[in-house]
Structure 1
Amino acid sequence: MSVREPLKIRKALLAGMVALALTGTGVAIAWSASDPAPSPSASPSEPGAAKKDKAQRPQHLHSESVVKKADGTFETELSQQGTVDAVSATSVTVKSEDGFSQSYAVNADTRIIKFPAPKADGTPATGEDGKRLRPSEVTIEEIATGETVRVTGVKNGNDVTARNIVEGAGTGPGKGIGKGLGKGMGQGMGKGHGPGKPKESGSGS
């Protein structure tokens, strides 16, 4: 075999590899050109989707649970959302949409919170300064029949004593007593005087 023959074989192999590479690139380019681009799908974060999800949230009407307190004793708690069927200085009766009705005793320890009524367009109520009005703590005299409320109470035998009564904007779907109070009253009351935060002095000493 002459010296030129291996050289010819190498050149043939090199030419074949170059042709194969070019052919593969051409196929890839042709494939990408013929393949249609995927159509964009609707984002779950779109406003319409968010509103739909919020409207479909479950609305908790009433429940009963047993909790263990810090001192080791047990307590039966009730929570309910509904309309005020009857109210007096010492009691309130609430009826839920499914027909469940419960009467609660009201005493000096019952905390009653009322949210300002929203504007006609549904936006939160604001004061003359344009700032959003905060919920306020009221007496049972300011709760009327027909109003929507959320109540939490403690059950003792057949009697239930109301611990919290929330009327107004804090009673929408998916909202609870703790969420409504923490979002409204917690920001407006006791600011700067919480546990571990000393009261500031005006003297500067």
Structure 2
Amino acid sequence: MSVREPLRIRKALLAGVVALGLTGTGVAIAWSATDSPSPSPSESAPGKQDKKQDKAERPQHLHSESVVKKADGTFETHLSQQGTVEAVNETSVTVKSEDGFTQSYAVNAETKVIKFPAPAADGSPATGEDGKRLKPSEVTIAEIATGESVRVSGVKSGDSATADKIVEGAGTGPGLGLGKGMGKGLGKEARKGHGKGLEK
């Protein structure tokens, strides 16, 4: 093949493309390629209602138990639970999950009790007089009452459990994982552990 052969082929292809464009066929092809119906904004992006429905359909973590290996080589059983306060006093709290599982936790000076402000009447986050969103605050166990929704994380030893953290209020809504803000900062230890569901 001579050096001029590829040049002739290119010229022939270019001439064909120009001819195609001049006859209008190229315009028709381009028009048909771009004429496919594009999805409307409502079809391409879910609305607020869809997002609320998706959130409501997410699985809720009611209770769990996991065993972690600590840095010193010993093992520790961690509990987490979401439910309603069945009984509470200065030294203990009993929580019942929606599936009927009930667990009592000892409460001591190291137990952190966090309370979220009640939401506004329309369901939006509570705000102060300055319009800023109110933050959760640390309270005493005396601020927790029966019937309230809580999330609890704690440590199990034998048949007894001690609460590390109790979160009451807006932080207990559907779709929130128990692990978010609930653990003890397990770090590398958590990756060495294994979990299992709590038995009723």
Q: Same fold (TM over 0.5)?
A: yes
Distance 2:75 2:81 in 1: 20
Root mean square deviation of aligned Cα: 2.5
The superposition leaves residues 166-191 of structure 1 with CA deviations (integer Å, 9 ceiling, x where unpaired) of 00011112324563579xxxxxxxxx
Q: TM-score, normalised by structure 1?
A: 0.72
Corresponding residue of 1:38? 37
Q: TM-score, normalised by structure 2?
A: 0.73
Equivalent pair of 1:164/1:177 in contact (CA under 8 Å): no
The superposition leaves residues 42-100 of structure 1 with CA deviations (integer Å, 9 ceiling, x where unpaired) of 23464333323222221100000001223222100010000001111111110111111
The superposition leaves residues 101-160 of structure 1 with CA deviations (integer Å, 9 ceiling, x where unpaired) of 111111111111111111101111111222211111111111101000000110000001
Structure 1 residues 76-115: aligned runs within 5 Å: 76-115=77-116
Partner SS, residue 179 of structure 1:
coil
Structure 2 unpaired stretches of 5+: 1-10, 184-200
> Highest CA radius of gyration, 1 or 2?
1
2:121 is aligned with 1:125: no
Partner SS, residue 51 of structure 2:
helix
Structure 1 unpaired stretches of 5+: 1-13, 183-205
Distance 1:181 1:125 in 2: 22
Asked which structure has the greater RCO (Cα within 8 Å, sep 6+), the reply is 2
Distance 2:94 2:45 in 1: 41
Partner SS, residue 154 of structure 2:
strand
Partner SS, residue 113 of structure 1:
strand
Distance 1:181 1:130 in 2: 28
Corresponding residue of 1:29? 27
Distance 2:170 2:148 in 1: 11
Corresponding residue of 1:72? 73
The superposition leaves residues 10-33 of structure 1 with CA deviations (integer Å, 9 ceiling, x where unpaired) of xxxx9xx96x55653322222344
Partner SS, residue 164 of structure 2:
strand
Identity of aligned residues (%): 69
> What letter matches 1:158 in structure 2?
D
Distance 1:80 1:47 in 2: 29
